[in-house]
A and B are shown apart, each in its own frame.
Chain A
Amino acid sequence: MKSKRKESNLEVVRSVYTSKIISSHRDLVALVFYGTEQSKNPRNSFKYVYVYHDLDEPGAKRVQEVDALRGEKGARLAAETMGSGETSLGDALWCCANLYSDIKLRLSHKRLMIFTCRDEPHRGDSAKDRQARTKASDLKETGVIIDLMHLMKPGGFDVAPFFRDIVSQPEDESELGLHLEPCDKLEDLQKRVRAKEQKKRAMARLNLCLGEGINVAVGIYATAVTARKPAAIRLYRETNEPVRSKTRTFHMQTGSLLLPSEIKKAQTYGKKQIVMERDEVDSIKKFQDPGLYLIGFKPMEKLKTHHHIRPAVFLYPEEGEVKGSACLFSALLMKCSERNVFALCRCVSRRNYPPRFVALVPQREEVDEGKVQFTPPGFNVIYLPYADDLRTLDPPQCPSASQIQVDKMKEIVSKLRFKYRSEAFENPVIQQHYRNLEALALDMMAPEDTEDLIMPKVDQINHRLGPLAEEFKDLVYPAGYNPESKSVAKRKTGVAEKKPKAEVPEDELRAHVQNGTLGKLTVPVLKEACKQFGVRTTGTKKQELIDALTTRLAA
């Protein structure tokens, strides 16, 4: 990435750095200035090109170094270290080509962004223009995508005369019709995105078996996965170097490490310990080999909204595994979609995983005006619940609302209509975490503010509703009814004074053990009993306490 230094350019560069650090810190980034007085590049073979940062994984130091160049003080520092000199974009591009070729790693994609506010950098020097064009096409040939991030300048920035030949043109529709992302606009770069970038990678490659010998190869992709805060890394307090954790299993008496063959697995039911080999435990879970097996088809209305147990995954054919998969897959997709049916399949997603039933819901491709895909073609895999997963509830008998009451609520609903977009809500927990981290890494005084997008905009809602809220309440609530009051009162009574320590006499305990009725006692009582008999327990779960007591007292 190169830049003509300018305050707003630096701001964007900083934003690119901080975004990259969170979205994909393994990406290598370099910062190159051109048109400088001083030169600094690998073999110092180019004049007026200053490699401020070599291609490397970015970190806090780099952000601080960019910050150092900002503001009045920064401008002075920049003038001292780099100065300003002749411009040769060709040399700068060449230098960048060298930076790329010096990297031993295989890079999956290379991108070069030119930040400038001059549409004629060489002021009409055609030799330099030509050299720049040659170098640009050399770079593009090695797979580098060149983007222009131009800033506004008085009179407008004219891309056409010079830069049109420099930047990469959006590719023609490739054979498979894959659209590349459109070039990010400068505004997009300035917008800070604090989310980890995920590579498209199949979670599993399986066969979708329609019948004997009819196997369609498919890949399973996770398209929505609950993002969590990145995991903490343990550091040695003295040196802040990362430590590795090792978990080992050893014998309490002999102290020797236990090999997998020296341990077994056990569960206790009905006061009896049942022991199995480790591979038996695995084999119990095995029903079939991994794969999807078609059971049949059902109309879409048979897919119930409330039959939801985990996020869906996405299915797309793998032509590279079984040739012809894409064609049959495509035919299934078209027909299921046309007839508004889903395919019911039995699914074993991995080795030794018990089967689950899934609904394959067809999803046709959708593209926007710019022919950019926003919905990919394939099947969404909806996991269906078993009988065990549905809980029996006892719904209360309540009177239904009258049509007048319903209509009033309809008015309220209409007032608060909005167009839901799934990407509109950021997770405030993760956003806060990243801002905290940034503040610590960059020695900031305080973290940037996080806007909690899932907080109701109460004032706005109240304003929009106007008198409607009161009108509705008059229709449904009697005078003096306060929906908030009762639970408050309850909470007060809930805080009763602490009960005295509960102890159960020994013979009573033994009787409980005998009858297998220890479960009747509460956890604090059981804990107390454990203490009483000197039983050491590892867990705090009720069952663990019961098991521990039972083994002690039955002995």
Chain B
Amino acid sequence: MAGTKSALVLCMDVGFSMSNSAPGEEPPFELAKKVIQKFVQRQVFAENKDELALVLFGTDSTKNPLDRDGQYQNITVHRHLMIPDFELLEEIENQVHPESQQADWMDALVVCMDLLQTETKGKKFDRLNVALLTDLSTQANQDHLDVIIENLKQAGITLQFFLPFPAEDDEEGGGDSDRRGPGHPGTGKGLSREQKESLDLVKHVMLSLDEEDGLDQVYTFRDAIEQLCMFKRIERRPMAWPCQLTIGSCLSIRIVGYKAVTEERLKKMWVTVDAQSNQKEDVKRETVYCLDDDNETEVKKDDTIQGFRYGSDIVPFSKVDQDQMKYKHDGKCFAVLGFTKQNLVRRHQFMGSQVVKMFAPKDDEHAGVALSALIRALDELQMVAIVRYAYDRRSNPQVGAAFPCVKQDYECLMYVQLPFMEDLRQFTFPSLENNKKLSPSDTQLSAVDSLIDSMMLVQKDDDDADQKDIFKVHHIPNPAFQRHFQCLHHRAVNPGTPLPPMEPWLKAALERPDVISERCQAPLEEIKRKFPLIEVEKKKKLKTSAQIFGKDAEEPDAKKAKGDEEEDYNLADIAEGSVTSVGSVDPARDFRTLIKLKSLPFGEVCQQLTHRIEQLLSNKNTHYYMKSITCIQAFREQSVKFLVVEEKKEEAAVPSAEDTGDVDDLLDMM
């Protein structure tokens, strides 16, 4: 649960037995290492306040606070309780190896308990947990078993075991073994006497901590890896919004709102850094204002004011005036305007990006009853409340609907924003049904009918009580986040290598379920036969450099260059205006004219043009980009001609044409 904080000790067996494995099987050590790696990864990216410690046992050396008189040997506190980071991940990767000793897992547990107790002093944790990863190959000392269990209970420390084999081997039914797949370690190989004894001990400990579900906290390595492949879903602490629901001025009910559904975004944004130094401090972004004149005269921000368009005019309207004259209201509010039938509020007219659930305050039973009366009344009448909602004084008020929601274990109102008149766009579209040319025939309709039959994602069983939805979107983790963390993790651990392909499980989660794909094969073929679909030929939208510079762009041709000189060249242009430099209105034309006139040296004209191109590119606007493309076209075309002339003169050619790499960059920017 978001907002709570836990302290966790990962306690991993690195003793020599952990490296033993049947041929073709991964040793338990490797599996256990994967479990903790996956777990720590998730913690690092979840960025919550949970703290983590790592204790290894079976190590060659001994390093723990309880190391005294030859007790608690071969146990190493590798990392003390702190927020996990990449350093820890790297340490696990590079420093956690199989070692050659064995240690008592019960001793290791005691070290972990001690660590939790001393290192959480003065801090507030909602949960203390020890996760033990071991193959249980050592004989455990049971002398203080009762004391240990008592201490665990008192300190509120929970336990989890991760083992190479399932805890309840004998009970394993047919259904479960399918999921575990073949070659599950432990099922093929008999357990040693120590392992059997230890397993009994584990069961005893777990059941004494939790009589009913204790054994649910004993996992196999493989199951754990499978479950940990997903990055944690984003959790946020729900923020309470206390308010009063009012009906007129005489009736009010205390309520508390919580955002229940909203499009979650990643907490972190990308920062721009310099490509060489990777430092964000090296990059500065700056916005400047300039007049729309030839020199693009810059003006200071303080010398600007704001205005708004009023038809063909722009009316200066300063921020201060605007704030003074703007719509003001009384702040926080949830006031009923009236009640209406639910079906008059159309689902597709829901606005905003959230659903807020309104409950009664936790400590106010009377408000609970009053709110319940309203919720049930609306539910029974199939009606909703239309309300004015304002989050606070600073935010704009909304109009919205409060739907009744009656669930088995709770009741609430669900608030959704509705549109204002200004938000609606009443478009009309040509009728589909009243058009004889378009209306489908009966056979076409029945083809669609059988397609729908074959693709129903909700299976109705014969006894209609049971409906099974095989594709629940709200159970899928946001694939964008999963992919994002996968790539970040990969880059952090394997710098310099290309990003990995998408995880297969993620890919599969976004696809049509296999059952459906199989079932709909035939109906789809039928649809294909019954509905001819012909793609209308269209010009390609993507531009390549060849299209911009013409098909001859690849090999400049002397002949072509000569021919060009005659066309798109107008004497009147030259006569009319005296072009003395490359202006900003039509830089390409000015450039051509100047080259033709030869009034300035070629290099200088080129420089002027380049300057204009740079100016154009500093504007984030397609129009300016297009203009700069015409400039580059002109630049290229004139440079080619220039080269041809120069070559004729048998002088050294001046390399001046821009290479296509820059053009590609330019296209990328659009």
Contact = CB atoms under 8 A, between A and B. Distances in A.
A64 B134 CA distance: 87
Contact of A236 (B267, B291, B418, B425): B291
Interface stretch (B61-69, B202-210, B354-362, B569-577): B354-362
Contact of B299 (A176, A236, A262): A236
B539 interface: no
Interface in B235-293: 235-236, 238, 242, 244, 246-254, 258-264, 267-276, 278, 280-292
9 nearest CB pairs, A to B: A398-B368, A176-B430, A354-B480, A59-B312, A270-B85, A21-B311, A461-B248, A380-B348, A395-B410
Given A267-B268, A324-B533, A388-B477, A465 B263 contact: no
Interface stretch (B105-113, B443-451, B650-658): B443-451
Nearest to A58: B311
Interface stretch (A44-52, A108-116, A137-145, A207-215): A207-215
Contacts of B287: 245-247
Nearest to B534: A323
B305 A242 contact: no
Contacts of A179: 428
Given A380-B348, A423-B424, A354 B263 contact: no
- Most chain A CB neighbours (cut-off 10 Å) among B296, B315, B326, B410: B315
Interface residues of B, number: 212
Nearest to A400: B372
Q: Chain B interface secondary structure, helix, strand, loop or mixed?
A: mixed
Interface in B425-446: 425-435, 438-440, 444-445
B582 interface: no
Contacts of A387: 233, 474-478
Interface residues of A, number: 219
A225 interface: yes
A456 B248 contact: yes
Interface string B452-484: 100111100000000001010111111111011
B307 to A, nearest CB: 5
A96 interface: no
A335 interface: yes
Contact of B290 (A246, A334, A427): A246
Nearest to B661: A261
Given A216-B533, A269-B86, A306-B414, A226 B381 contact: no
Interface stretch (A79-87, A227-235, A522-530): A227-235
Nearest to B498: A280
Contact of A251 (B236, B282, B445): B282
16 contacts: A56-B312, A176-B435, A232-B307, A257-B618, A260-B668, A264-B272, A330-B439, A361-B347, A377-B429, A392-B235, A413-B378, A422-B419, A429-B396, A429-B397, A469-B250, A476-B370
Interface stretch (A122-130, A478-486, A496-504): A478-486
A296 B474 contact: no
Contact of B440 (A262, A264, A328): A328
B427 A200 contact: yes
Interface stretch (B23-31, B168-176, B189-197, B338-346): B338-346
Interface in A453-511: 454-458, 461-462, 465, 469-470, 472-473, 475-478, 481, 483-484, 486-487
A252 interface: yes
Contacts of B416: 305-306, 308
Given A244-B619, A335-B449, A409-B374, A258 B283 contact: yes
A499 B117 CA distance: 32
Contact of A437 (B84, B285, B310): B310
B377 A413 contact: yes
Interface stretch (B44-52, B151-159, B219-227, B592-600): B44-52
Contacts of A195: 421-422
B380 to A, nearest CB: 7
A493 to B, nearest CB: 14
Contacts of A317: 432
B505 interface: no
Given A224-B349, A243-B289, A261-B275, A472 B668 contact: no
B474 to A, nearest CB: 6
A436 B317 CA distance: 9
Contacts of A486: 254, 364
Contacts of B618: 246, 248, 257
B34 interface: no
B325 interface: yes
A384 B473 contact: yes
Interface in B59-88: 82-88
Interface stretch (B93-101, B136-144, B486-494): B486-494
Given A235-B306, A287-B510, A458 B248 contact: yes
Contacts of A332: 448
A102 interface: no
Given A243-B289, A334-B433, A234 B372 contact: no
B180 interface: no
Contacts of A416: 247, 336, 338-339
Nearest to A536: B281
Contacts of A520: 49
Interface centre among A221, A224, A260, by most chain B C-beta atoms within 10 angstroms, is A224
Nearest to B512: A295
A356 B239 CA distance: 26
B629 interface: no
Given A243-B289, A391-B236, A309 B261 contact: yes
A274 B491 contact: yes
A417 to B, nearest CB: 5
Contact of B452 (A329, A339, A440, A472): A339
A284 B270 CA distance: 13
A369 interface: no
